[in-house]
Amino acid sequence: MATVDPRPALLDEAEPPAGRPAGAGARLAAYVALTKPRIIELLLLTTVPVMFLASRGVPALWPVVATVVGGTLSAGSANALNCVVDADIDQRMRRTRRRPLPQHAVSTRSALVFGLVLGVVSTLWLALLVNALSAALALAANVFYVVGYSMLLKRRTPQNIVWGGAAGCFPVLIGWTAVTGSLAWAPVVLFAVVFFWTPPHFWALAIRYRDDYAAADVPMLPVVASSRAVARRIVAYSWATVATSLLLWPVAGTGLVYPVVAVLLGLALLAESYALLARARRSSDLAVLQPMRLFHGSNLYLALLFLAVAVDPLLR
C-alpha cells in the first residue's frame, strides 16, 4: 500500500457554507461534537469503578468529581486534536463525514486551538485539584493518542489499533492514582484488560466499515486481511482479555463477586467471538458476518466487568 501523507488537508473556512446554521447553539454543538462525547463516556466508565477498588469502598466525592471533570477535558482535547489530524480522511468516509470539520461547522484552526486549550486546562486542573501523577498520565495519554496513534500509526500499519489503542487504557491508571497517589499492580492488570479488549472491539467496527477505511487508504486489519483471518485474531485477543481479567482476583484480593462475574462475562465474549469466526468461515459478506453484534456485545462486556470492579469492594 502506498504511503499516505499523515498531514491532514486543511479546512480553514472561517464560516460555514451558506445555508448551514451558524448560530451560537449550532456552533456550541459542533465544538461538543469535536470531543466525541460517546468515547468519553466509555473512558469514564473505566475510570470511576477503579476509584472504588482503590478506595476499598465508596471514594470521597470530591476526588471523583475532580477526576471526572479533568478526565473529560483531557479526553475531549485528544479527540478534538484527532479530528484535526484526521480531517482529510473523515471527509472520505461515510461514517465520519458528518463530523464538524468535514461539515465546515468549525474551522481547522479553531478546532486546533480548542483542542490545545482543553489539553492545557485539563492538565492544570488535574495537577492542582487531583495530583501531579494523574495529570502526567492524562497528558501522556493525550500525546500518545494524537501523535502516536493518529499521526504515526493509523495510516501506516494494520497494527495501528493494537498499539494505538493503549491510549484508551490510561483512564484506569488515572482513576487509581487519583485516589492513592501512586501506581500498583491492580490498575496495571486492568490496563492490560482494556489493552487486549480494544482490538477485537474495534476490529468488529472496522469490519463493518472496511470499505470506508479502504477508500480512505487507512490500513485497518479488515482492509488488508480476510474476514476469517481477522476473526481468528479477534478470538485470540478475546482469550487474552478474559485470561487477564481473571488476574485481578489474586492481584487485588477481590471477593468472589468479581471473579464470578468475570468468568460469566468472559464466556459470553468468547462465545460471540467464536460465533463471528464461524460466520466468517461461511462468508465474508457483511450480512452474514454481522460484526456489530460483537461490537455492541464487547461494549456491554466492558461496562459490566468494570461495574463488578466497583461493586465487589462494596459487598465486602
Cα–Cα distance measured from residue 278 to residue 179, given in angstroms and rounded to the nearest whole number: 44
Q: Which residues of 42-74 are buried (b: 16+ CB within 10 A; e: fewer)?
A: bbbbbbbbbbbbbbeeebeeebbebbbbbbbbb
Q: Does residue 30 carry a pLDDT above 60? A: yes
Mean pLDDT across the stretch 65-75?
A: 97
Residue 10 in domain:
no
Are 90 and 209 found together in one domain? no
Residue 17 in domain:
no
Q: Does residue 55 carry a pLDDT above 90? A: yes
Cα–Cα distance measured from residue 221 to residue 214, given in angstroms and rounded to the nearest whole number: 10
Give the three-class secondary structure for 71: helix
Are 274 and 301 found together in one domain? yes
With a CB cutoff of 8 Å and minimum separation 6, the contacts of 159 are: 153, 221
pLDDT for 257 equals 96
Q: If we measure between CA atoms, which residue out of 149, 250, 235 comes closest to residue 196?
A: 235
The rounded percent of the chain whose pLDDT value lies above 70 is 93
Residue 202 in domain:
yes
The rounded percent of the chain whose pLDDT value lies above 90 is 88
Q: What is the CATH number of the domain that holds 64?
A: 1.10.357.140
pLDDT for 276 equals 98
Q: What is the dihedral of CA 155, 158, 163, 164, to 10 degrees?
A: 30
pLDDT for 41 equals 87
Contact between residue 216 and residue 206 where contact means Cβ atoms under 8 Å apart: no
Are 314 and 294 found together in one domain? yes
Select from 159, 181, 203 the last residue of a domain.
181
Are 58 and 139 found together in one domain? yes
pLDDT for 22 equals 56
Separation in Å, CA 140 to CA 104, 108, 146, 167, 315? 30, 23, 10, 8, 34
Residue 73 in domain:
yes
Q: Which residues of 219-237 are buried (b: 16+ CB within 10 A; e: fewer)?
A: bbbbbebebeebbbbbbeb
Are 306 and 275 found together in one domain? yes
Q: Does residue 91 carry a pLDDT above 50? A: yes
> What is the span of the domain harbouring residue 248?
184-316
Specify the range with the lowest mean pLDDT, choosing from 14-18, 34-38, 236-240, 250-254.
14-18
pLDDT for 87 equals 95
Residue 194 in domain:
yes
pLDDT for 42 equals 84
Tell me the helices (H) and strands (E) count for the chain, helix number first.
15, 0
List, for residues 287-298, the tens digit of each pLDDT value. 999 999 999 999
Whole-number mean pLDDT of the chain?
92
Q: Where are the alpha helices (DSSP H) in 35-165?
A: 37-55, 61-85, 87-92, 108-129, 132-143, 160-164
Specify the range with the lowest mean pLDDT, choosing from 25-29, 41-45, 310-314.
41-45
Contact between residue 131 and residue 70 where contact means Cβ atoms under 8 Å apart: no
pLDDT for 242 equals 98
Are 139 and 191 found together in one domain? no
Contact between residue 310 and residue 52 where contact means Cβ atoms under 8 Å apart: yes
Residue 235 in domain:
yes
Q: Does residue 17 carry a pLDDT above 80? A: no
Task: Check residue 153 and report its DSSP letter.
Answer: I
Q: What is the dihedral of CA 172, 178, 183, 186, to 10 degrees?
A: -40
pTM beyond 0.85: the answer is: yes
Residue 203 in domain:
yes
Mean pLDDT across the stretch 232-248?
A: 98
Residue 14 in domain:
no
Q: What is the CATH number of the domain that holds 280?
A: 1.20.120
Select from 144, 159, 181 the last residue of a domain.
181
Q: Does residue 11 carry a pLDDT above 50? A: no
Residue pointed to by grid coordinates 468515547: 39
Residue 251 or 9, more confident: 251
Specify the range with the lowest mean pLDDT, choosing from 20-24, 172-176, 191-195, 238-242.
20-24
Q: Does residue 231 carry a pLDDT above 90? A: yes
For the chain, how many structural domains are there in total? 2
Q: If we measure between CA atoms, which residue out of 218, 161, 154, 149 comes closest to residue 1?
A: 218
Are 202 and 95 found together in one domain? no
